[in-house]
Structure 1
Amino acid sequence: MKKKAKRGQPAKSKKNKSSAQQMPAAPDRRRFLNKMAWIGGGIVVLGGATLFGARSVRAKVAERDLTRLGQGVPTVVQVHDPQCPICNALQSQTRQALKGFGQDELQYLVADIKTQEGQSFAGRFGVPHVTLLLFDGEGNLVETLQGVRQASELRPSFERLAQ
């Protein structure tokens, strides 16, 4: 026999009791820990990107420091226009040819003709952009290479310079 509900009140069922006991009232610990894991991962990724960016900027600043020329290390200086696709192609081939050389064997510098320092450097040697100037450790010009060249063409010149 079924119980009748009192007037004005709904009948109680077993289903209502069991579902009410299983529903948490507030966010549980598992959800909180999941959010914290995502936040922690985001912080690690952001920190790594910042570190990579800072190192990249420092490397570019060091490459453009022409005062390093003649400090005892043979040097390849590229007279470069950063907006020139031919210059960028030469830079890519030069970097590829320089792989395997240590910083104490051969250094790479960039004379950016968009800067005053880069313009005066190129003017001093009378060369246009898309040019590589090879200097010995004392800063004496040894060889001038104009135009885009493949890494395989550049490598022998770099090896002679590093000796």
Structure 2
Amino acid sequence: MKQTRKTRQAAARQKKSQPSGAAQPSRRNVLKLLRSGAIGGVVVAGGGYFARGSFQAHAAEHDLSRLGQGKPVVVQIHDPQCPTCTSLQRETRKALKGFGECDIVYLVADIMTEKGAAFAAKYGVPHVTLLLFDGEGDLQQTLKGMRQRDELQQVFTSHHAAST
């Protein structure tokens, strides 16, 4: 049988549309891909969960409306760009670890925000300052400058005893 030009072209087109020995993914490769995707999903979800918790803690720490709600409060006047402020924050957090979360509330008045700057101006204090309030929200003590954990623990212990 003699092939015409049209039948040869049709046969060539059909041959091109068929896979030419392309490797099909093996079951093992598909399972590896699924495993990697599952691990990646868990990592992303875990990171999101951590970020959410971290954001909530950060937001609660900057909520100055928590002042005067029945618990003694330590408010740090803080500039996030100041290395001394960051050191004071680290030492304050270490000193507060000995107290329960319900014993003393730690808040941050960030002077780079409008509310934080207004709070610092209200009490006439610069950054690198800790303000200690009683449960009613009355200022009891002002600590200006850098302090170490041991000194802060003593101050917080006496402040807690006097405020309860």
**1:3-35 Cα shifts (integer Å, max 9, x gaps):** xxxxxxxxxxxxxxxxxxxxx952211111111
Which residue in 1 is equivalent to 2:91? 93
CA RMSD of aligned residues (A): 1.3
Matched to 1:94, the amino acid is T
Paired residues, number: 140
Distance 2:23 2:141 in 1: 78
1:67-146 equivalences under 5 Å are: 67-146=65-144
The TM-score normalised by the length of structure 1 is: 0.83
**1:94-146 Cα shifts (integer Å, max 9, x gaps):** 01111032221001000111111111111111110000001111111111111
Which residue in 2 is equivalent to 1:10? none
Does 2:53 align with 1:55?
Answer: yes
Equivalent position SS for 1:70 = coil
Distance 2:46 2:151 in 1: 37
Select which of 32, 36, 39 maps to 1:38: 36
**Higher mean displacement: 88-97 or 27-36:** 27-36
Alignment gaps of 5+ in structure 1: 1-23
Alignment gaps of 5+ in structure 2: 1-21
